């Protein structure tokens, strides 16, 4: 899923629409009813880690100067469809039928937007994104050979003619945003002491880095890059690393994440040093394996055995496929990263 820097960019894309009224809605969402958003006002946008929070309300007394109520035709618009890549997507009017109970938008989507104020929580899938005033287009044919454009989960058209399209995301209504700046790696209030304490546990540091309770917004790319730049093997036990090494790792997490974010704002591509690389910058052969806690999610991980020695030292055969004598939490390479 998009990591913290990407979601911060989504936040910047959505922010200019704050103070505008939703004129009409569309999208393929089944559990969240897009029609519930029609005629509401977008009042605020907040970001935490890998999630966006959009606040809507029904009043217009705090609308931006020059933001007039919806024109009569939009207020009374009937249900219809618009076409995207040969597929018909519903445009929903107020009072549309209740949402379908089954769907893929995630838990907690049972609250209605009919209250005076609600927060829409948006969490993104692996290829989740936000598009402004345009739709995502297919870059290649699918497995069936069809050039079908991605279908947005939600589309919000605003009174000034602009629109937002949300792709591959899970949405649910919340009474308030779930924001914990102390664990957000891109927040000025990020708590280094809490992060260092978590990293010092007697478990591989690559497991701890992906724990959103301590490193919200940190994903697989940041994990790989921070570990390489700090010279730490992903399976090194945090309890065996010196305080200075742990400090260096936290520094690399924050510096890489901030640099990646600034690059996104400038339209620059991110250039990893070890992630998905065959060799490290020093020319050594990189190693790849799917790592994760026993019974937990396995993530493809790249590292350089020469530049990132393991603590305790790596045992012979530790990267063999699972079988008799294979250590837990290691899976043969070759799987697709999720």
Q: Would you call 216 helix, strand, or coil by DSSP? A: strand
pLDDT tens per residue across span 178-218: 889 999 999 999 999 999 999 999 999 999 999 999 999 99
CA distance 172 to 142: 29
- 219 in Cβ contact with 50 (< 8 Å): yes
Nearest alpha-carbon partner for 308 in 228, 225, 246, 240: 228
Kindly state the greatest CA–CA separation across the chain: 73
CA distance 222 to 160: 38
CA distance 26 to 155: 5
- Residue 274's Cβ-count burial label (10 Å; 0-12, 13-18, 19+) is buried
pLDDT tens per residue across span 133-158: 999 987 777 777 777 888 999 999 99
Q: Give the contacts of 305 (CB within 8 A, at least 6 positions apart).
A: 233, 284, 287, 314
Which residues are the active-site residues? 2-3, 50, 299
- The answer, yes or no, to whether the previous bond of 312 is cis (omega within 30 of 0) is yes
Scanning the structure block, which residue is given the tokens 């394996």? 289
Would the pTM of this model clear 0.85, i.e. be above it?
no
CA distance 228 to 187: 23
pLDDT tens per residue across span 49-106: 999 999 999 975 444 433 433 333 333 333 444 433 333 434 433 333 333 222 333 4
* 36-40, 90-94, 100-104, 316-320 — most confident range: 36-40
Residue 49 Ramachandran class (φ > 0 left, ψ -120 to 50 alpha, else beta): left
Percent of the chain with pLDDT over 90: 62
Domains and CATH numbers, the chain: 4-174 (3.20.190.10), 181-331 (1.10.8.50)
CA distance 71 to 36: 18
Scanning the structure block, which residue is given the tokens 């969490």? 123
CB-side neighbour CA atoms (13 Å) of 63: 19
């Amino acid at each position: 899923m998009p990591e913290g820097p990407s979601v911060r960019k989504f936040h910047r894309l959505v922010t200019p629409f704050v103070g505008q009224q939703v004129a009409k809605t569309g999208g393929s969402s089944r559990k969240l009813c897009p029609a519930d958003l029609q005629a509401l006002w977008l009042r605020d946008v907040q970001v935490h880690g890998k999630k966006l929070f959009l606040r809507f309300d029904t009043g217009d007394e705090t609308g931006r100067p020059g933001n007039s109520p919806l024109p009569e035709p939009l207020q009374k618009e009937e249900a219809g469809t618009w076409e995207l890549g040969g597929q018909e997507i519903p445009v929903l009017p107020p009072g549309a039928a209740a949402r379908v109970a089954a769907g893929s938008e995630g838990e907690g989507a049972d609250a209605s937007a009919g209250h005076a104020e609600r927060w829409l929580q948006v969490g993104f899938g692996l290829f989740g994104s936000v598009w402004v005033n345009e739709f995502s287009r297919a870059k290649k044919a699918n497995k069936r050979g069809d050039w079908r454009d991605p279908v947005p989960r939600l589309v919000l058209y605003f009174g000034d003619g602009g629109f937002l399209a949300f792709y591959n995301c899970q949405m649910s209504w919340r009474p308030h945003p779930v924001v914990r700046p102390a664990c957000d790696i891109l927040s000025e209030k990020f708590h280094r002491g809490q992060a260092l304490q978590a990293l010092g546990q007697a478990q591989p540091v690559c497991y701890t880095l992906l724990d959103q309770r301590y490193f919200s917004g940190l994903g697989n790319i940041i994990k790989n890059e921070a570990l390489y730049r700090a010279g730490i093997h992903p399976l090194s036990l945090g309890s065996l690393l010196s305080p200075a090494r742990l400090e260096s790792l936290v520094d690399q997490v924050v510096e890489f994440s901030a640099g990646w974010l600034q690059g996104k704002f400038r339209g620059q591509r991110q250039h990893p040093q070890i992630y998905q690389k065959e060799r490290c910058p020093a020319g050594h052969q990189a190693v790849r394996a799917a790592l994760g806690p026993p019974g937990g999610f396995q993530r493809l991980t790249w590292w350089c055995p020469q530049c990132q020695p393991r603590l305790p030292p790596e045992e012979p055969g530790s990267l063999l496929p699972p079988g008799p004598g294979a250590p837990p939490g290691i899976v043969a390479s070759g799987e697709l990263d999720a």
